[in-house]
């Protein structure tokens, strides 16, 4: 890519290249560089350097190029940037020098890397983004494969009537850190023969340090109008669109890699959406002369599959007729007949769905290694997929687990990163997955951690206010809308955050079950509590949308007094403010339905303790001193009603007896010593164990390495 598209004085000419490598977003010095150029524009562009460089006044750039202080920072950042790109000294090439050319291809329907790239909807995508960034940091030869959705996922507004409105904005490629590879401005889209017709896709690249994502988009002129829709939106369309989208991801994804001259050693499918990649690889081996059985063996040996979904209904399935329609003619290329082909995906979920072509079953049959995303989720998955291994006991079902982790440099507040550098050493980031290292947490003075947290909280509240103000100014939304968005929030009051996708099992309304009791807690004049909610519901999910409506109604009820807020449009930018700035992170899904959850991990590493039911990651993350467990034992069977009652009672009493008193118990200097201790424990346990660094190393050593070695031998 030619980065000369921006006007840049030669002395700072590499800012363009930096803007187009999302690495800047997880290096606090690099992001500060753009911020220094024009702080206002930085805010207005929602921290998007591509947009900033396109819009900034040339005089500001010239001034920066002549400012010795700026240049010193610039040179420092460029040095670090080149070092990151070189992978020199990174963990993987150091430890496995003989494997450093064996690429891992990671397929995912979504990637959440930055808010300027709306190609994610929630947890699954953020996880894929974090995995990719950490793979780059560790020097793993890595390429992510997915889509760029021209209409992305929607932005959310709450109407005056309290309803979620979904707005799909057209992605402006020129304002995103995305580089053309095969597009109409370069050599043109590439062509596949797929499902009986030709289909064209444009290919784009997103740079993440030394690694990258390569993304397809079918919205090109060469395609028929209906095919242009295939990658228009994330999870849009009907079942058939969904099937075609998944064919494009799996089969098209492999072919795109070939068009890029990439022949990865190992393939990792993040969730069942990408499972067709396994078929395509079999097809390739058969075309190269292997038998179907040999091809399957080779594909299994080099494929990893991660399942996240803890309920049978959540797995992707298709009617056989639909599969027949689009795969007729494909199975003979695999060297098998129709029956054998259908059997690869056939699965009866035993929960009323009947027998269908099931993407998870397909992935389990054709990959060699599989995992769930937390210890509980591994257990749930073994139970759910036990019928696939009728000869084994449930415990011996070969689905293991690798607990999720979060990319620490992305999710840690830059201010905290500086605090850790100051007290734990400049080198802290290199060792952050080592639990022993964090035993030094006490070297950080309580006052400093506490005061910094106050600053981050103030930043969150001002972010909320500005969002509300903008909406009010631009659209004249009623004043109650502004109040319901948290403008009455008090920087001194204990603040709980709750943000997630609004699906009913997440039980967003649990805390409102006894509103009078809650009001007493919220409105205690000496020890008030306030709760900020955020999150989207899938536009087709009426019950989910109704949850948002209910919370919004409570937020604007004057009797609540502004202690409850709903902030619109939960995206990466808002998420960061929340994880950095609230005092407690709350999570109360109905167990065991939380596969892992990662928002609580992000909160923890910022010193925000969790208040959560014992499910997902918290089942293994809770250590008695780093937060609070609420609710009944998840392993005990009880009715939904009974569980809701037990859990909410436990939630209220934990708040009343433990959380609120501890937060307001201050020393003579105003520091809540006991509270700060919990904050430190949250960091000490959370940062190493739930880092993406620990996770990617674990994937590498437990799953990728043997697959890489199998690939070498072929
Ligand atoms: C981390 C994150 C999520 C996933 O969090 P959960 O705990 O799984 O709900 C969703 N959306 C955004 C923007 C995130 O940053």
Give domain status of residue 445, yes or no: no
Domain boundary among 86, 111, 138: 86
Domain boundary among 57, 86, 115: 86
- Sheet with strand 564-567: strands edge to edge: 564-567, 529-534, 494-499, 584-587, 610-613, 627-630
Give domain status of residue 338, yes or no: yes
> Does one domain contain both 31 and 165?
no
Domain boundary among 86, 105, 123: 86
> Does one domain contain both 159 and 300?
yes
Give domain status of residue 522, yes or no: yes
Q: CA–CA separation, 326 vs 329, rounded Å? A: 8
What 8-state DSSP symbol labels residue 602?
Answer: H
pTM (whole model) above 0.85: yes
Helix axes 28-37, 414-424, angle to 10 degrees: 130
For atom 3 of ligand 1, which residue has the closest CA? 123
> Does one domain contain both 486 and 567?
yes
CB atoms within 10 A of CB 202: 27
* Tokens representing residue 555 in the block: 């937020």
Atom of ligand 1 nearest to the CA of 600: 7
Q: CA–CA separation, 245 vs 162, rounded Å? A: 33
* Tokens representing residue 331 in the block: 């199975």
Residue 623 alpha carbon to ligand 1 centre in Å: 22
- Mutation choice for ligand 1 from 117, 598, 618, CB with most ligand atoms inside 8 A: 598
> Does one domain contain both 254 and 182?
yes
Q: CA–CA separation, 235 vs 242, rounded Å? A: 7
Q: CA–CA separation, 46 vs 176, rounded Å? A: 12
384, 312 contact by CB (below 8 A) = yes
- Mutation choice for ligand 1 from 116, 120, 575, 691, CB with most ligand atoms inside 8 A: 575
* Tokens representing residue 575 in the block: 């998420």
* Tokens representing residue 235 in the block: 């999870």
User: Which pLDDT value is given to residue 714?
Assistant: 64
> Does one domain contain both 400 and 466?
no
261, 297 contact by CB (below 8 A) = no
- Sheet with strand 346-348: strands edge to edge: 317-318, 355-358, 346-348
User: Which pLDDT value is given to residue 184?
Assistant: 92
Cα of 238 vs its chain's centroid, Å:
24
Residue position matching structure tokens 């609580």: 600
For atom 1 of ligand 1, which residue has the closest CA? 599
Give domain status of residue 633, yes or no: yes
> Does one domain contain both 478 and 400?
no
What 8-state DSSP symbol labels residue 626?
Answer: S
User: Which pLDDT value is given to residue 349?
Assistant: 82
Give domain status of residue 438, yes or no: no
Residues facing residue 217 across a β-bridge: 202
Domain with 74, as residue range(s), is 3-86
> Does one domain contain both 7 and 65?
yes
Instruction: Determine which helix (DSSP H) or strand (DSSP E) holds 19, and give its type and residue range.
Output: helix 15-19
Q: CA–CA separation, 411 vs 495, rounded Å? A: 19
Select from 140, 275, 129 the least CA-distant residue to 215.
Answer: 129
For atom 6 of ligand 1, which residue has the closest CA? 597
User: Which pLDDT value is given to residue 669?
Assistant: 93
* DSSP 3-state of 91: helix
Give domain status of residue 417, yes or no: no
User: b/e per residue, 137-176, with b = 16+ CB within 10 A?
Assistant: bbbbbbbbbbbbbbbbbbebbbeeebebeeebeebebeeb
Could you give the C-alpha distances from 489 to 427, 457, 482, 683, in angstroms and in order?
Answer: 37, 11, 11, 26
317, 342 contact by CB (below 8 A) = no
Instruction: Give me the residues of the chain with pLDDT under 50, please.
Output: none
Angle (CA) 685-451-76 rounded to 5° is 80
User: Which pLDDT value is given to residue 169?
Assistant: 87
Atom of ligand 1 nearest to the CA of 571: 13
Maximal C-alpha separation, the chain: 79
Residue 598 alpha carbon to ligand 1 centre in Å: 6
Check which CATH number belongs to the domain holding 165 and give it: 3.40.50.2000
> Does one domain contain both 135 and 189?
yes
38, 62 contact by CB (below 8 A) = no
For atom 12 of ligand 1, which residue has the closest CA? 122
Angle (CA) 51-52-54 rounded to 5° is 65
Q: CA–CA separation, 496 vs 585, rounded Å? A: 6
Residue 200 alpha carbon to ligand 1 centre in Å: 33
| Domains contained in the chain, number | 3
Q: Mind spelling out the 3-state secondary structure of 650-670? A: HHHHHHHHHHHHHHHCCCCCC
Select from 707, 586, 628 the least CA-distant residue to 297.
Answer: 707
What 8-state DSSP symbol labels residue 579?
Answer: H
549, 163 contact by CB (below 8 A) = yes
692, 131 contact by CB (below 8 A) = yes
Give the β-pairing of 164-167 and 155-158: antiparallel
485, 471 contact by CB (below 8 A) = yes
> Does one domain contain both 622 and 643?
yes
What is the rounded end-to-end Cα distance, in angstroms, of the chain? 35
Atom of ligand 1 nearest to the CA of 506: 9
> Does one domain contain both 112 and 75?
no
Q: Quick one: 415 exposed, middle or buried, by C-beta within 10 A (0-12, 13-18, 19+)?
A: middle
Residue 120 alpha carbon to ligand 1 centre in Å: 10
Q: CA–CA separation, 521 vs 664, rounded Å? A: 13
- Whether the bond between 368 and the residue before it is cis, its omega within 30 degrees of 0, is no
Ligand 1 is surrounded, with C-beta below 6 A, by 122-123, 126, 500, 570-572, 575, 597-600, 602
* Tokens representing residue 24 in the block: 């800047």
Residue 540 alpha carbon to ligand 1 centre in Å: 20
Residue 571 alpha carbon to ligand 1 centre in Å: 9
Q: Quick one: 289 exposed, middle or buried, by C-beta within 10 A (0-12, 13-18, 19+)?
A: exposed
Could you give the C-alpha distances from 4 to 62, 80, 172, 630, in angstroms and in order?
Answer: 16, 22, 19, 55
Could you give the C-alpha distances from 141 to 212, 267, 299, 430, 704, in angstroms and in order?
Answer: 10, 12, 19, 19, 11
Atom of ligand 1 nearest to the CA of 594: 8
Q: CA–CA separation, 30 vs 32, rounded Å? A: 5
User: Which pLDDT value is given to residue 682?
Assistant: 98
> Does one domain contain both 19 and 118?
no
388, 396 contact by CB (below 8 A) = no
> Does one domain contain both 522 and 484?
yes
Give domain status of residue 436, yes or no: no
For atom 4 of ligand 1, which residue has the closest CA? 123
Question: For residue 325, what are the contacts with CB-CB under 8 A and spacing of at least 6?
Answer: none
User: Which pLDDT value is given to residue 361?
Assistant: 97
For atom 11 of ligand 1, which residue has the closest CA? 122
Residue 503 alpha carbon to ligand 1 centre in Å: 13
Q: Is the backbone of residue 27 left (phi > 0), alpha (psi -120 to 50) or beta?
A: beta
Q: Quick one: 542 exposed, middle or buried, by C-beta within 10 A (0-12, 13-18, 19+)?
A: exposed
* DSSP 3-state of 213: strand
Give domain status of residue 442, yes or no: no
Residue 552 alpha carbon to ligand 1 centre in Å: 20
Give the β-pairing of 303-306 and 369-372: parallel
């Amino acid at each position: 890519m030619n980065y000369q598209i921006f006007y840049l004085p030669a002395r700072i000419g590499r800012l363009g290249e930096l803007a187009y490598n999302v690495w800047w977003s997880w290096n606090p010095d690099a992001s500060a560089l753009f911020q220094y150029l024009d702080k206002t524009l930085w805010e207005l562009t929602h921290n998007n350097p591509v947009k900033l460089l396109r819009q900034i006044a040339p005089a500001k750039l010239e001034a920066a190029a002549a400012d010795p202080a700026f240049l010193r920072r610039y040179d420092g950042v460029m040095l670090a940037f080149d070092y990151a790109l070189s992978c020199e000294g990174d963990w993987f090439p150091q430890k496995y020098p003989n494997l450093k050319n064996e690429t891992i291809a990671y397929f995912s329907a979504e990637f959440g890397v930055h808010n300027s790239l709306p190609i994610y909807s929630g947890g699954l995508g953020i996880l894929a983004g974090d995995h990719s960034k950490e793979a780059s940091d560790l020097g793993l030869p890595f390429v992510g494969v997915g889509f760029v959705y021209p209409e992305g996922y929607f932005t959310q507004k709450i109407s005056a009537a309290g309803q979620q409105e979904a707005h799909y904005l057209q992605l402006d490629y020129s304002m995103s850190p995305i580089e053309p590879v095969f597009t109409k401005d370069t050599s043109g889209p590439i062509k596949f023969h797929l499902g009986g017709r030709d289909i064209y896709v444009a290919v784009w690249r997103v740079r993440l340090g030394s690694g990258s994502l390569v993304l397809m988009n079918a919205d090109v002129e060469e395609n028929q109008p209906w095919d242009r829709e295939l990658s228009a939106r994330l999870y849009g369309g009907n079942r058939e669109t969904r099937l075609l989208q998944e064919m494009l991801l799996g089969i098209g994804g492999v072919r795109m890699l070939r068009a890029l001259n990439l022949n990865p050693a190992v393939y990792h499918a993040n969730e069942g959406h990408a499972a067709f990649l396994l078929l395509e690889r079999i097809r390739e081996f058969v075309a190269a002369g292997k038998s179907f059985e040999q091809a399957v063996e080779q594909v299994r040996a080099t494929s990893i599959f991660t399942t996240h979904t803890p309920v049978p209904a959540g797995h992707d399935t298709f009617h056989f007729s639909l599969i027949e329609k689009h795969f007729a003619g494909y199975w003979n290329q695999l060297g098998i007949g129709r029956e054998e082909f259908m059997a690869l995906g056939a699965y009866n979920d035993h929960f009323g769905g009947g027998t269908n072509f099931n993407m998870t079953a397909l992935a389990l049959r054709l990959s060699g290694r599989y995992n769930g995303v937390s210890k509980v989720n591994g257990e749930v998955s073994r139970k759910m997929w036990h019928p696939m291994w009728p000869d084994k006991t449930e415990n011996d079902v070969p689905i293991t687990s690798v607990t999720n982790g979060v990319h620490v440099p992305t999710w840690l507040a830059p201010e905290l990163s500086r605090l850790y550098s100051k007290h734990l050493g400049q080198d802290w980031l290199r060792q952050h997955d080592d639990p022993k290292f964090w035993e030094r947490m006490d070297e950080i003075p309580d006052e400093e951690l506490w005061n910094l947290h106050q600053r981050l909280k103030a930043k969150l509240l001002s972010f909320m206010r500005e969002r509300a103000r903008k909406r009010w100014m631009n659209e004249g939304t009623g004043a109650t809308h502004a109040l319901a968005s948290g403008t009455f929030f008090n920087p001194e009051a204990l603040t709980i955050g709750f943000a997630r996708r609004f699906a009913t099992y997440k039980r967003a309304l649990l805390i409102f079950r006894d509103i009078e009791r809650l009001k007493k807690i919220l409105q205690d004049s000496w020890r008030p509590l306030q709760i900020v909610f955020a999150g989207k519901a899938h536009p087709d999910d009426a019950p989910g949308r109704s949850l948002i409506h209910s919370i919004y109604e409570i937020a604007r009820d004057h009797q609540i007094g502004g202690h409850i807020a709903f902030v619109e449009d939960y995206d990466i930018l808002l998420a960061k403010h929340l994880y950095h700035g609230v005092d407690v992170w709350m999570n109360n899904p109905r167990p065991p339905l939380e596969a892992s959850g990662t928002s609580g991990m992000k909160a923890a590493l910022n010193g925000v303790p969790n208040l959560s039911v014992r499910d997902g990651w918290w089942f293994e993350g809770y250590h008695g001193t780093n937060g609070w467990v609420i609710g009944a034992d998840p392993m005990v069977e009880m009715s939904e009603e009974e569980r809701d009652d037990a859990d909410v009672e436990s939630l209220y009493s934990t708040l009343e007896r433990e959380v609120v008193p501890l937060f307001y118990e201050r020393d003579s200097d105003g520091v809540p010593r006991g509270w700060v201790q919990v904050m430190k424990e949250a960091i000490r346990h959370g940062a190493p164990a739930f880092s993406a660094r620990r996770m990617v190393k674990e994937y590498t050593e437990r799953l990728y390495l043997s697959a890489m070695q199998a690939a070498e031998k072929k």
